[in-house]
Amino acid sequence: MKKPINQQDRRDFLKATAMLAGGAMLSSIPLTGAYASGSDTIKIALIGCGDRGTGAAFQALSTKFNIKLVAMADAFQDRLDSSYQSLLKFGDKIDVPKERQFVGFDAYLKAIPLADVVLLTTPPGFRPIHFEEAVKQNKQIFMEKPVAVDAPGIRRVLAAAEEAKKKKLNVVVGLQRRYQTNYREAMKRINDGAIGDIMSGQVYWNSGGVWVRPRTPNQTEMEYQMRNWYYFNWLCGDHIVEQHVHNIDIANWIKNGHPVSVQGTGSRAWRTGKDYGEIYDNHSIELTYADGAVINSQCRHFEGISNRVDESFQGTKGKIYLSGSNQAIMKDYKGKELYNHNTKGNANPYQTEHDELFDAVSKGEYKFSNVDYAATSTFSSIIGRYATYSGQTIKWDEALASNISLMPERFAWDANPKLMPDEKGLYPIAMPGQAKVI
């Protein structure tokens, strides 16, 4: 097999943190920590009962294995109630009486100990805290992307990931393209040298944006931001992190490494009102890799535009087009088709994530440690935000050492987040040339 260029693999990334050593390799050694209850029932806990969390629970419960949901946790009672009602369709696979339905900022501490496998699907700002606790409690883990929103969070996730490896805890992360057939088949051929060394690329997530939840009477600022988590960086990381991480992850996968520096531009051009918190609605960045290859990245939330969510890459011998709609088209520069993925019979990658995780858990095998590449791609996206907010070229090592945390000092409904609105209800917006990001 042809060895890809830019060999900044997992060990290089961990070394760059200046705090972690290289991790243990995966193996099929029987588990000694979780799922050793002597029963063939795999107990799961859902931490974060929004739409994505409910979807993850659906997928876990839809696997062929004997799975039972035994605990649920969310900051909000109404979100938990809605999720619970949706999941009742699974009948006796749902065993979550009131005493195992936990609400509040500390709800995860009560739910995690009750399960063999935990689903971590809250807004990403909480991911480092919840992942750390799940590892401490020796649980097998599915967690959604992205895995953090700032450099301190990434370092916390990486430290917990090292502990998970030592304990041989399976961890699958919801970057589902890694579990999608067309991407897997394409990567096999790229690694075999079908289009040569990857020297450039373009990745996109251009869409009309997401929901808005208006402020209601008597909401504290903490509740308002939690309800509208997509528009606040301590919860979401901006849409370049929360959504576009999928496409940036493919760039890193195809380059077998991470960018060493990022520069770009962004702004609030369309979503400018107070309902949109602090995030930008467009980002355009260049990711420069160690071998000099540059991949252009673009994401935006404009209504009424042509949408685009896909990836293209150019190698020394050919090019490839990829998309989440199961396309993979590879050609040489004379136009000869080298590979065209047949979309018939493709499995749902969201389901495949859970099928493969629970297969390993049911067999007592250790097969999955997705955290290193998930943290790499998450941080690549975070650096993209740093670059657009500041207008500066951001270097990987300098950014990873940053101690600027976005998280509140205290988690409580009467506590204030670090970012507060002015008397008109408008939030401070990062200004390139002025914003301090690292």
Q: State the amino acid at position 254 in one-letter form.
A: I
How much is the pTM? 0.92
Give the integer Cα–Cα distance in Å for 223 and 347: 38
Q: Grade residue 343 by pLDDT with cuts at 50, 70 and 90.
A: confident
Q: State the amino acid at position 139 in one-letter form.
A: K
Q: Grade residue 39 by pLDDT with cuts at 50, 70 and 90.
A: confident
Q: How far is CA 234 from the centre of its chain?
A: 15
Q: What is the pLDDT of residue 236?
A: 98
DSSP class of residue 426 equals P
Reduced to 3 states (helix: H, G, I; strand: E, B; else coil), residue 129 is helix
Tens of pLDDT along 46-96?
999 999 999 999 999 999 999 999 999 999 999 999 999 999 999 999 999
What are the tokens at 290? 């160690």
- pLDDT over 60 (residue 15): no
Percentage of the residues of the chain whose pLDDT score is greater than 90:
89
- From residue 203, alpha-carbon distances to 71, 109, 161, 170 in Å are 38, 38, 28, 29
Percentage of the residues of the chain whose pLDDT score is greater than 70:
91
| Superfamily (CATH) of domain 178-346+379-400 | Dihydrodipicolinate Reductase; domain 2 (3.30.360.10)
Give the integer Cα–Cα distance in Å for 253 and 403: 27
Going by C-alpha positions, the residue among 75, 79, 73 that lies closest to residue 96 is 73
Residues forming CATH 3.30.360.10 domain(s) in the chain:
178-346+379-400
Q: Grade residue 10 by pLDDT with cuts at 50, 70 and 90.
A: very low
Give the integer Cα–Cα distance in Å for 29 and 418: 45
Residues forming CATH 3.40.50.720 domain(s) in the chain:
12-177+351-369
For the chain, the distance separating the N- and C-terminal CA atoms, rounded to the nearest angstrom, is: 40
The continuous run of DSSP H or E covering 154 comes out as helix 151-167
What are the tokens at 65? 């294995």
Tens of pLDDT along 419-428?
999 999 999 9
Tens of pLDDT along 128-174?
999 999 999 999 999 999 999 999 999 999 999 999 999 999 999 99
Q: Was domain 12-177+351-369 assigned CATH 3.40.50.720?
A: yes
Q: Grade residue 24 by pLDDT with cuts at 50, 70 and 90.
A: very low
Q: What is the pLDDT of residue 345?
A: 73
Within 8 A by CB and 6+ apart from 139, the residues are: 33, 34, 112, 115, 116, 117, 118, 169
Give the integer Cα–Cα distance in Å for 208 and 243: 12
Give the integer Cα–Cα distance in Å for 278 and 228: 11
Q: What is the pLDDT of residue 38?
A: 53
Q: What is the pLDDT of residue 137?
A: 98
Q: What is the pLDDT of residue 342?
A: 80
Give the integer Cα–Cα distance in Å for 98 and 102: 8
Going by C-alpha positions, the residue among 290, 287, 333, 337 that lies closest to residue 314 is 333
Q: Grade residue 8 by pLDDT with cuts at 50, 70 and 90.
A: very low
Give the integer Cα–Cα distance in Å for 202 and 251: 8
Q: What is the pLDDT of residue 29?
A: 42
